[in-house]
């Protein structure tokens, strides 16, 4: 479902005035994309739905603060990402505890020729693997790879050091490779 | 960022292909949590009140668990779980009323958190993670109350979008926005700076970008030197000095204004007396003269003949491409009438004295001209040559004019090619 720029502006304006139909239209329009964001940060589909719901409620509460200049989808995404991270942060202290940079140097995985085997994996398998990562790994991996954050930005967003961001990314990838390799075994 | 490695790109590509079918039950769930549309019944106030009650009881209970071992507080929280669920649902309603004490809101957040915390500690899903052991220890050692407090602070730090300066939400912040009568103006042009702030108790600090300032709410200011200036307004609440808003720096372009001045030279002894004006204006691209004798000119240095004696207010308007205009006015005195040095009577009686009529100036000017003579009934004589002055002949009936007053009109083009018209009366005497 796609809205023209004008329709979108109208729908947003009406939604600010708490028009239910317009709010529903916005939700319908962006549900798939925002659900995709939430899925990456969550441990399962149900949690993702919860976070996504909370995110949309925040969206409707904050809608009057949206300045019509920027990309609306980008704005939504940012709220979803923040809601997801808040959720992780609220549910676990984990983010702050995994600062063991010393061991990382030896753990860093380099490019692997076998990586190309993953190209054929079903999307659902990759999502499942991401969801199996620990919340901290998930957060770092998602922000860095999916949201194009720099390590500095990841560090700022999560309240960790840059080094921790780097080491967690490396560990996340190592873990993800293992998980994906298992998927291939099962698929074959 | 494009420096993702191959593996990261593969995963990213996969994750971007995610699609989720729309599920209307999701919307229903959200709709239930949204504040009701505006014309709702006072239910929300009742709900808010009940939330307040429950929350305060809760807060009281939580406070009472301070310094107690974890286990007991765990129990008290799980015992309250059912009521907590209710409050967190209603918290959205109460939010919309915006009248609740801050304490309650944080209490609700705490509740929310407590629920999740309970959930999560029940099933930790990362046996592989070394850090989990530490985590468990941490949770078990720290009493519930301080931990929760910590968590709420973090919450407000974390959610960037939610981040609202608590002060700004309570104390109205004066606006530093303003308008200016023009963003491009001329040197010396008065500009009104108009603050859009509507709050009383505001101190205004204007910076006009040239070292000059004002503390007026609506200052009027004019720049003396051309250039680009950056204007900024700082609006400070006089009640709370720390509540300040500073505007962006707004650029104003100030264009040069012409300086305007002129002088003149009178050529009184020519056949046609002229006044030659000299334009002394600077930074001007066009000029408009008004000589108050029915003549206007857009020449830079015009030459003008005044026919009637008297005082003339000469106005010169100089303007430039920026539309900046300046006007100067001076008074000119013309001491004698001038009418082509025409005599006012002649005697066509062939005695050799004043036998014909033609304005004397035409004899000197040496220009093409047209002279016409009229009586009361119309044109009676016309000439275009100095050798054909009027001798009293009536070209209309071929006869000779009787004694009386006749009107003459002479037209010619001056050196600038401008039509010159002179009129006078001539008495024909026998």
DSSP for B209-227 reads SSS-EE--SS-EE--SS-E
| Strand, coil or helix: B170 | helix
Q: Is the pTM of this model over 0.80?
A: no
Are B6 and A145 in contact (CB < 8 Å)? Answer: no
Which residues on chain B are in Cβ contact (under 8 Å) with A121?
14
CB atoms within 10 A of CB B278: 12
Q: Say which residues have a Cβ less than 8 Å from residue B368's Cβ, sequence separation at least 6.
A: B384, B412, B413
Are A82 and B159 in contact (CB < 8 Å)? Answer: yes
Nearest to A92 among B15, B120, B134 (CB): B120
Which residues on chain B are in Cβ contact (under 8 Å) with A114?
none
Q: What is the pLDDT of residue A111?
A: 56
CB pairs under 8 A between A and B: 144
Q: Does the pLDDT of residue B90 top 50, yes or no?
A: no
Q: Does the pLDDT of residue A105 top 70, yes or no?
A: no
Cβ atoms of B354 and B343 within 8 Å: the answer is yes
Q: Which of B1, B2, B20, B140 to mutate to test the interface with A (most CBs of A within 10 A)?
A: B20
pLDDT-wise least confident of A110-124, B13-27, B378-392:
A110-124
- CA–CA dist A172, A116 (Å, integer): 18
**pLDDT tens, B345-402?**
999 988 888 899 999 888 888 889 999 999 988 999 999 999 999 999 999 888 899 9
Give mean pLDDT, residues A96-118.
54
Which residues on chain A are in Cβ contact (under 8 Å) with B17?
123
Are B161 and A112 in contact (CB < 8 Å)? Answer: no
The sign one gets for the Cα dihedral B397, B401, B404, B407 is positive
- CA–CA dist B195, B218 (Å, integer): 6
Which helix (H) or strand (E) segment is B149 a member of?
A: helix B144-158
Which residues on chain A are in Cβ contact (under 8 Å) with B165?
none
- CA–CA dist B315, B261 (Å, integer): 10
Q: Give the burial class of B30: count Cβ atoms within 10 A of its Cβ; 0-12 exposed, 13-18 middle, 19 or more buried.
A: buried
Q: What is the pLDDT of residue A109?
A: 47
pLDDT-wise least confident of A19-28, A53-62, B53-62:
B53-62
From residue A119, give the alpha-carbon distance in Å to each of A11, A40, A172, B244. Answer: 39, 18, 18, 55
What is the token pair recorded at B69?
A: 């071992």
Which residues on chain B are in Cβ contact (under 8 Å) with A116?
6, 10
Closest by Cα among B299, B280, B281 to B289:
B299
Closest by Cα among A102, A104, A97 to A158:
A97
Average pLDDT, rounded, for chain A? 82
Which residues on chain A are in Cβ contact (under 8 Å) with B138?
93, 97
- CA–CA dist A42, A134 (Å, integer): 10
- Which residue in chain B has the smallest CA separation from A30? B22
Q: Give the burial class of A111: count Cβ atoms within 10 A of its Cβ; 0-12 exposed, 13-18 middle, 19 or more buried.
A: exposed
The sign one gets for the Cα dihedral A152, A78, B135, B61 is positive
Which helix (H) or strand (E) segment is B139 a member of?
A: helix B131-141
The residue to which tokens 């004043």 are assigned? B354
pLDDT level of residue B267 (50, 70, 90 thresholds): confident
Give mean pLDDT, residues B210-231.
91
Q: Give the burial class of B350: count Cβ atoms within 10 A of its Cβ; 0-12 exposed, 13-18 middle, 19 or more buried.
A: exposed
Q: Does the pLDDT of residue A143 top 50, yes or no?
A: yes
Are A91 and B11 in contact (CB < 8 Å)? Answer: no
Q: Which of residues 348-407 of B touch A (CB under 8 A)?
A: none
Nearest to A130 among B5, B15, B95 (CB): B15
Cβ atoms of B18 and A131 within 8 Å: the answer is no
Cβ atoms of B379 and B373 within 8 Å: the answer is yes
Nearest-CA distance from B179 to chain A in Å?
21
Are A145 and B30 in contact (CB < 8 Å)? Answer: no
- CA–CA dist B319, B326 (Å, integer): 6
Are A98 and B4 in contact (CB < 8 Å)? Answer: no
Give mean pLDDT, residues A160-179.
89
Are B19 and A32 in contact (CB < 8 Å)? Answer: yes
Q: What is the pLDDT of residue A6?
A: 84
- Long-range contacts of the stretch A164-168 (C-beta < 8 A, 24+): A164/A98, A164/A99, A164/A101, A165/A140, A166/A101, A166/A104, A167/A100, A167/A101, A167/A103, A167/A104, A167/A107, A168/A98, A168/A136, A168/A137, A168/A140, A168/A141
Q: What is the pLDDT of residue B59?
A: 55
Cβ atoms of A115 and A162 within 8 Å: the answer is no
- CA–CA dist B361, B338 (Å, integer): 10
Give mean pLDDT, residues B93-110.
35
Cβ atoms of B303 and B309 within 8 Å: the answer is no
Which helix (H) or strand (E) segment is B380 a member of?
A: strand B378-383
- CA–CA dist A65, A57 (Å, integer): 14
Which residues on chain B are in Cβ contact (under 8 Å) with A149?
1
- CA–CA dist B30, A50 (Å, integer): 10
Cβ atoms of B96 and B126 within 8 Å: the answer is no
Residues A76-98: b if buried by 16+ CB within 10 A, e if exposed: bbbbbbbbbbbbbbbbbbbbbbb
The residue to which tokens 């700004």 are assigned? B168
What is the side-by-side strand order in the sheet with B178-180? B178-180, B191-195, B220-221
Interface predicted TM-score of the whole assembly (ipTM), two decimals: 0.84
CB atoms within 10 A of CB A2: 6
Give mean pLDDT, residues A82-107.
60
Which residues on chain A are in Cβ contact (under 8 Å) with B159?
82-83, 86
Are A115 and B6 in contact (CB < 8 Å)? Answer: yes
């Amino acid at each position: 479902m796609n809205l023209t720029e004008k329709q979108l502006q109208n729908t947003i304006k009406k939604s600010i005035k708490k028009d239910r139909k317009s709010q529903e239209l916005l939700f319908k329009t962006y549900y798939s994309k925002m659900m995709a964001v939430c899925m990456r940060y969550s441990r399962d589909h149900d949690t993702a739905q919860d976070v996504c719901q909370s995110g949309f409620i925040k969206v409707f509460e904050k809608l009057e603060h949206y300045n019509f200049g920027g990309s609306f989808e980008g704005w939504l995404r940012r709220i979803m990402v923040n809601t997801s991270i808040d959720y992780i942060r609220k549910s676990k202290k984990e983010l702050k505890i995994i600062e063991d940079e010393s061991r990382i140097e030896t753990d860093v995985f380099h490019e692997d020729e076998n990586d190309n085997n993953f190209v054929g994996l079903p999307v659902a398998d990759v999502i499942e693997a991401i969801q199996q990562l620990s919340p901290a790994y998930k957060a770092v991996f998602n922000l860095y790879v999916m949201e194009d954050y720099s390590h500095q930005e990841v560090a700022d967003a999560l309240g960790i050091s840059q080094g921790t961001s780097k080491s967690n990314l490396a560990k996340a990838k190592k873990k993800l490779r293992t998980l994906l390799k298992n998927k291939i075994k099962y698929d074959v | 960022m494009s420096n993702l490695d191959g593996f990261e790109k593969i995963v990213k590509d996969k994750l971007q292909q995610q699609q989720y079918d729309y599920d209307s039950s999701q919307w229903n769930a959200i709709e239930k949590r949204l504040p009701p549309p505006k014309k709702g019944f006072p239910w929300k106030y009742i709900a808010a009140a009940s939330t307040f009650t429950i929350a305060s009881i809760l807060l009281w209970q939580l406070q009472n668990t301070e310094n107690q071992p974890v286990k007991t507080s765990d129990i008290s929280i799980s015992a309250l779980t059912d009521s907590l669920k209710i409050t967190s649902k209603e918290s959205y309603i109460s939010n919309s009323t915006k009248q609740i004490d801050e304490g309650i809101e944080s209490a609700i957040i705490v509740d929310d958190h407590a629920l999740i915390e309970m959930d999560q500690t029940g099933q930790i899903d990362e046996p592989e993670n070394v850090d989990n052991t530490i985590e468990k220890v941490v949770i078990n050692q720290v009493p519930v109350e301080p931990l929760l407090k910590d968590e709420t602070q973090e919450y407000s730090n974390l959610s960037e979008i939610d981040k609202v300066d608590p002060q700004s939400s309570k104390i109205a912040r004066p606006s530093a926005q303003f308008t200016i009568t023009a963003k491009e103006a001329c040197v010396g042009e008065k500009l009104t700076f108009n603050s859009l702030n509507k709050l009383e108790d505001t101190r205004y600090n204007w910076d006009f970008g040239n070292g000059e300032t004002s503390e007026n709410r609506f200052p009027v200011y004019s720049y003396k030197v051309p250039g680009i200036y950056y204007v900024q307004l700082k609006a400070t609440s006089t009640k709370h000095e720390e509540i300040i808003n500073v505007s962006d720096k707004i650029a104003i372009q100030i264009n040069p204004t012409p300086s305007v001045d002129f002088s003149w030279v009178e050529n009184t002894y020519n056949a046609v007396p002229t006044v030659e004006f000299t334009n002394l204006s600077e930074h001007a691209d066009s000029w408009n003269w008004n000589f108050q004798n029915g003549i206007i000119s857009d020449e830079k240095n015009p030459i003008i003949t005044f026919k009637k004696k008297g005082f003339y207010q000469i106005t010169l308007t100089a303007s430039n491409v920026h539309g900046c205009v300046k006007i100067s006015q001076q008074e000119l005195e013309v001491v004698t009438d001038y009418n082509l040095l025409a005599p006012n009577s002649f005697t066509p009686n062939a005695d050799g004295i004043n036998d014909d009529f033609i304005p004397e100036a035409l004899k000197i000017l040496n220009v093409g001209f047209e002279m016409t003579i009229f009586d009361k009934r119309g044109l009676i004589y016309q000439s275009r040559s100095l050798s054909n002055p009027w001798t009293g002949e009536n070209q209309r009936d071929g006869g000779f004019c009787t004694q009386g007053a006749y009107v003459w009109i002479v037209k010619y083009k001056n050196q600038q090619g401008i039509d010159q018209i002179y009129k006078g009366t001539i008495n024909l005497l026998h």
